[in-house]
Amino acid sequence: MKKNLIDILIENIKTIFFALIIAVIIRSLFFQPFYIPSSSMEPTLLIGDRIFVAKYTYGYSKHSFPFSPPIFSSRLFSTEPKYGDLVVFKTPSDNRTDYIKRLIGLPGDKIQFVKGKIYLNNNEILRKKIKTKYKIRCGIFSPEVNAYLETLPNGKEYVAVYNKQGSMQNTDEYTVPKGFYFFLGDNRDCSQDSRYLSSVGYVSSENLVGNAKIIFFSNDTKSGSVLKFWNWSQSLRLERFLHLLK
């Protein structure tokens, strides 16, 4: 009887061990879930969204794996990101914190804000003001915004919002170094991104984690924790479940 209990315990440990190994492999090489904690990507991504990120899209670096082990440098099976991709990356300031932003500049590109408009390689990024009114958050504030449908050189379209008051109008010209990328948040005046060289700045290709593909679950945290099932009728955003990201 004692031997049988030991055998059962060993089998359970083996099962848990192999399950963990499989989970790590899937998380590292294929898909990893992420939680959206901030409003920097509104209206594309909302606080409380949970997304799946494809880890294989741009190849693999040490940051593809838990705790970023220094097992190799650069990237394996590297593929170039595209304008407008929603990319999760490790912030250059600590190589640990995960950010998600939209890719605006490739290596060698020049980006500049002039009178509130974005110029990419001296060409204005096309944008069209849209009538849809978005309720945008920025910390504890809900600023009034103008929303635009922006179109990048490869035809990628997305919605970006700018504060009606206090929006960033002019910047220096940013020149993206070789092997690096330039990112912006869709909530342009509530995003720490590549415009802020001391905190984010240009992002190395090695720091890319993956490409956001789908929202698989969404809960409005202002309406209560997802654990409070009695509030689900108010907190769950069912229309965002299994929503493909562009």
Alpha-carbon gap, residue 197 to 53, rounded angstroms: 25
Query: For 49-89, how does the pLDDT look when each residue is reduced to its tens digit (9 = 90+)?
Result: 999 999 999 999 999 999 999 988 889 999 999 999 999 99
Active-site residue, 246 included: no
What's the pLDDT score for residue 3? 59
Query: For 181-196, how does the pLDDT look when each residue is reduced to its tens digit (9 = 90+)?
Result: 999 999 999 999 999 9
**Candidate list 55, 62, 90, 101, residue with the active-site label:** 101
Tokens 């650069």 belong to 74
Alpha-carbon gap, residue 232 to 219, rounded angstroms: 8
What's the pLDDT score for residue 209? 97
Residue 136's domain is classified under what CATH number?
Answer: 2.10.109.10
Whole-number average pLDDT of the chain = 94
- DSSP letter at 147? E
Residue 223: pLDDT over 80: no
- Overall average pLDDT of the 19-44 stretch: 94
Residue 113 CB partners (closer than 8 Å, separation 6+): 119, 168, 169, 170, 171, 195
What residues make up the domain containing 128? 2-244
Please give the model's pTM, rounded to 2 decimal places: 0.91
**Candidate list 40, 191, 204, 218, residue with the active-site label:** 40
Under 8 Å between Cβ of 168 and 117 = no
Q: What percent of the chain has pLDDT over 70?
A: 99
3-class DSSP state of 196: coil
Banded pLDDT at 225 (limits 50, 70, 90):
confident
Under 8 Å between Cβ of 60 and 76 = yes
Number of domains into which the chain is organized: 1
Banded pLDDT at 226 (limits 50, 70, 90):
confident
Residue 1: pLDDT over 60: no
What's the pLDDT score for residue 204? 97
Query: For 139-188, how does the pLDDT look when each residue is reduced to its tens digit (9 = 90+)?
Result: 889 999 999 999 999 999 999 999 999 999 999 999 999 999 999 999 99
Active-site residue, 233 included: no
Pinpoint the alpha helices (H) of the chain: 2-29, 232-235
Banded pLDDT at 2 (limits 50, 70, 90):
low
